[in-house]
Amino acid sequence: MSERRKRVIPGDVITSGSYRADQNTVLDGRLIVSTAVGVSEIVDDAVRVIPLTGKYMPRIDDMVVGKVTSHTSLAWELDINSCYVGFLPATDVFGRDFSARSDELASRLKRGDLVAARIANSDRSRDPLLTITDRDLGRIDSGELVKMSASKVPRLIGKRGTMIQMIETQTDSLITVGQNGWAVVACEDPNGLLKAKEAIAMVDRLAHTSNLTDRVREMLGGRS
């Protein structure tokens, strides 16, 4: 592990240099201290800690996969694998003409449906607002939900998407990955589906190790 990256636990001093305290760190006087168990990283002028585990904390513009758990007359409630419930307003689906009196929410999205959505607005004081008015967002009609740790999603995607593209190519599948640790794998071939799920589980298990893309490729039986 390079000098700029080290394993830390809460309370560990990462650096005393003139850096900005980013994710999972706090500034204590001149010291930047970790608040999570993970790997610290100094990128440009910022210090952050990539947590090894933990629940998903919603951030604006994140793409997430959510599960409809309930609805009111104005919005759907989605489980987004977080301590917060995601709210998808009815106007987002029905448009500005939405009328709570005449439009039935269950006709569009019902309990148990999986939805690819984007976090439109979020602060820690209230539940995040979701939107599906974008390309490739909306109800997911096929595939299988696979769960992994939200903190390991960047590893599943890889640098410039290399890992996810490699898994999709090798298994002939289409994977919708949410930043919240939920992914939907769609694949015609049952063996490909199994392989893709196995690859995701492998990334989840070995996210902290190096040379992972090659090892996943090897597991999938492909050539580098």
Partner 1 sequence: MTVFTTMDDLKKRRIHELLDNGQRIDGRGFDEHRSISIEIGAIPKANGSARVRLGDTEVVCGVKIQPDRPFPDVGDRGIFICTAELLPLSHPTVETGPPNESVIELARVVDRGIRESHMMDLSQLVIKRDVSVVGVFADNVAVDYDGNLFDACSYAATSAVLSARMPRWEYGEDGPVLQEGDAPLPTTTVPVSVTMAKIGNHIVVDPNADEWDCMDARITITTDSNRNICAIQKGGKNGFTLDELVACGETAVKSADAIRRTLEAAAKQ
The residue ranges that bind partner 1 (CB under 8 A) are 67-69, 79, 110-114, 140, 142-145, 184
Instruction: Please report how close the Cβ of residue 138 comes to partner 1 at its closest, in angstroms.
Output: 14
How far is Cα 173 from Cα 188, in angstroms, rounded to an integer?
Answer: 7
Report the distance separating Cα 45 and Cα 22, nearest Å: 10
Integer Cα distance of 169 and 61 in angstroms: 27
Query: Please, which residue, 103 or 144, has the CB nearer to partner 1?
Result: 144
Min CB(104)–partner 1 separation in Å: 18
Least gap, CB of 201 to partner 1 (angstroms): 15
* Choice between 34 and 176, CB closer to partner 1: 176
Q: Which is nearer to partner 1, 190 or 221 (CB)?
A: 190
Nearer to partner 1 (CB atom), residue 68 or residue 90: 68
Are the beta carbons of 56 and 152 closer than 8 angstroms? Answer: no
Which long-range contacts does 191-200 make (Cβ < 8 Å, 24+ apart)?
Answer: 193/144, 195/170, 195/171, 195/220, 196/167, 196/168, 196/171, 197/144, 197/146, 199/167, 199/170, 199/171, 200/146, 200/148, 200/156, 200/167, 200/175
Structure tokens at 180: 């919240």
For residue 218, the minimal CB distance to partner 1 (Å) is 26
Closer to partner 1 at the Cβ: 47 or 88? 88
Kindly state the smallest distance separating residue 82's Cβ from partner 1, in Å.
Answer: 12
